[in-house]
Amino acid sequence: MRTQRLLGAGFCALTLAQSLAAPAPAAPAPTPQAGGTLNVGLYAQPATLDPAGRSGDAGSQAVLYAVYDPLIDIQRDGSYHSALATSVERSPDSRRWTVTLRQGVRFHDGTPFNAQAVAAHFKRLADPDTRCTCLPTVQAITAIETPADDTVVFRLASGWASFPAQVLGASFAFIPSPTAVAAAGADYGIRPVGTGPFKLVQFTRGDRIVVERNAAYWRAGLPHLERIVFRPLPDEQTRLQSLRAGDIDLMQTINPLQAEQARAAGLQARINIGLGSQMVVLDHSRAPFSDPRVRRALALAVNREAFVKLMTNGICRPGQGPLGEGSPYDGQAPWPGYDPKTARELLAAYGKPVAFELLTLASPEGRKQAEILQRMWRAVGVQARLAPLDLPQLIDRVLAKKNFEAATWVAQEYPDPDGLFEGFHSRGRFNYMRYANPQLDALLELARVNADPKVRLESYQQANRILAEDAPVIFLMRKIGAIIHKPSVRNVPPAQWAGVQIFRATEIWLQK
C-alpha cells in the first residue's frame, strides 16, 4: 500500500552570495495578543455556508475557513498537508483510499468528529436531493467504509490518481456536524456547525456574519481573536473607504490598484497572483458558440496585454490557458494570441452576424472589464450587449440555471492537471459551458485512472493542445487579488493560491 506523504513547510535554496553574506540579527517576534474583534469587509455576500451548497466564491470561503477545518490542505505544487486527516493511503490501483482522522476533535455543538461524520457528509453529497454541484465527482465513490472511529475507506469505481486533491481537499469536503445538519434541515446554510477555530453566532443576510472563538479548538492556543464580524461590501471604493475610516480592519479586493492606494494611505497590502485566470465562458450548446471559428475569432480579437495594462496598470500578467505558468503538462499548446485580421477572416467564413449578451459583475471593476472586451470585439464586427449582475445572480445564471450566452468568470488552475477533467470533460462538474470533445474526454479519462507519470504527461500535453485549438473559453489575465489591512492587524497569512482573496484568520491577532 502506498502512502501519500503529508508534507510540511518547504525550503528556500540560497544563492552563493546569499550564503556568504552575514545574516542580519533577527528582531524578536512579537508575542501574539489574545482577544479583540476583527471587522472584515467581504467583496460579496456569502450565499451559503453549507459546503454542499454553492459556496465556492472567495467571500464564502473566507467564512468557511473560520467555521470549518479541511480534511487536507492542498499546496500549490500538488502536495498536501495534514488537517483533520493525518494520513492518506492508496491501494496500488488507486481504487481504494484509506484516510486516518485526527482523534479527540469535536464539532462546535459537542458532536464527536469521527469516521461516521465524514461518511455521513459524503453520502449526503452523493444524494441527488442535496443538489451539490459536486455530484458528478462524488459519484465516483462506490462505497464508504468506517472500520474504526478514526478510519474512513473510500472505494472508487475506477482508479483515480488525484483523488485527494480533487475530493478530500475540495471546498465541498469541509465536514459539518451531522447533528446540526439533521436539526437545521434546509436552513443549515445559515446555521453551520464545524470543527473550526470559530463558531457562528449570527448570520444576517445583507448585513453581517459574526463568529466567536472556539475555546475548545483542537489546535492549542488558537485562535487569538475573540470575534470576527464579516460584512459584505460589494462596492470596491466603499470597502476601501470603510477601511481608511476605521469601520473595518481588513478587506478583500481583486483590484491591485487599490492595494497601491492603500499603501500610500499607510495601510498594509499583499498582492497575490494565484493559480487561475479571469476569463469569458461561452455556452457551446447554442449558436454562435457551437462553431469553433467564432470562439477562436473572439479570442484572437482580445489584446490581452492591453487588457492587463488597462485593468491593473500592468501589475498582472495575461492568462495563458488552464494550466499554471511553466507547467510541464502544457505541451507548448498554441493558445490564440492577438490577431484581429485572422479574427475578421474567421467571422467572414462563419458568414452570419455575431451578437450576444455578456453577463458580468455589476461592480465598477466588472463593468470596466466588460466594456474593454466590448470595444475590442466591436473592432472586428462583433456586438456584445452587457448585462451587469450582482455575484449571486451571476452564479445562479451560470452555475445553477446554465442560462447564459457568455459571461465573465474567474476559474482556478489546478496544481494537479486532473483539474482539466472537472473543467472540460463533458461530465466535468465545472463544465457549465456544455463543451464536449470525445477525443479530449478519452485522454482525460486515461490520465485520471493511470498513475504512470509518463502516460499522464503525454495525455495532458495532448489534451491541452486540443483545448488550445478548440478555444472553449477566452483567457484574459491571471487571477489576482489582495488582502488590505490596518498595521494593527498582525500575522495575516498570504492569500490562498486557489482563491486570491481567501484568507484564514486562525493565527491573526490584533496589536493593542
- In this structure, what CATH number is given to the domain that contains residue 82? 3.90.76.10
Residue 149 resides in a domain = yes
Separation CA 422–CA 431 (nearest Å): 7
Instruction: For residues 378 and 319, state if they share a domain.
Output: yes
pLDDT score recorded for residue 331? 74
Q: Which of 409, 453, 446 is nearest to 425 (CA)?
A: 446
Instruction: For residues 413 and 465, state if they share a domain.
Output: yes
Instruction: For residues 356 and 493, state if they share a domain.
Output: no
Residue 240 resides in a domain = yes
Instruction: For residues 57 and 122, state if they share a domain.
Output: no
Residue 298 has pLDDT above 50, yes or no: yes
pLDDT score recorded for residue 16? 25
The beta-strand segments (E) located in 376-428 are 383-389, 406-412
pLDDT tens-place string over residues 73-111: 887 666 788 899 999 999 999 999 999 999 999 999 999
pLDDT tens-place string over residues 113-126: 999 999 999 999 99
Residues 478 and 323: beta-carbon distance below 8 Å: no
Q: Which domain holds residue 103?
A: 69-181
Separation CA 217–CA 195 (nearest Å): 7
pLDDT score recorded for residue 43? 83
Give me the number of domains the chain comprises: 3
Separation CA 272–CA 252 (nearest Å): 11
pLDDT tens-place string over residues 195-217: 999 999 999 998 999 999 999 99
Residue 15 has pLDDT above 60, yes or no: no
Residue 131 resides in a domain = yes
> Read out DSSP for 111-131?
PBPSHHHHHHHHHHHT-GGG-
Residues 417 and 453: beta-carbon distance below 8 Å: no
Q: Which helix (H) or strand (E) holds 4?
A: strand 2-4
- pLDDT greater at residue 350 or residue 14: 350
Least confident of 9-18, 233-242, 280-289, 304-313: 9-18
Instruction: For residues 174 and 240, state if they share a domain.
Output: no
- How do strand 406-412 and strand 250-253 relate by DSSP bridges? unpaired
Residue 411 has pLDDT above 80, yes or no: no
Separation CA 143–CA 162 (nearest Å): 18
pLDDT tens-place string over residues 387-401: 999 888 998 899 888
Which runs of consecutive H residues, i.e. helices, occur in 31-104?
A: 58-67
**Could you give the percent of the chain with pLDDT greater than 70?**
92
Residue 409, φ and ψ in degrees, nearest 5: -155, 160
Q: What is the pTM of this model?
A: 0.80
Query: What would the 3-class secondary structure string for 191-240 be?
Result: CCCCCCCEEEEEEECCCEEEEEECCCCCCCCCCCCCEEEEEECCCHHHHH
pLDDT tens-place string over residues 245-277: 999 999 988 788 888 889 999 999 988 877 778
Which runs of consecutive H residues, i.e. helices, occur in 215-333?
A: 236-245, 256-264, 292-300, 304-312
Instruction: For residues 240 and 318, state if they share a domain.
Output: no
Number of helices and strands (H, E) in the chain?
16, 19
* Confidence bin at 493 (pLDDT 50/70/90): confident
* Confidence bin at 26 (pLDDT 50/70/90): low
Residues 41 and 143: beta-carbon distance below 8 Å: no
Residue 424 resides in a domain = yes
Instruction: For residues 459 and 331, state if they share a domain.
Output: yes
Instruction: For residues 219 and 166, state if they share a domain.
Output: no
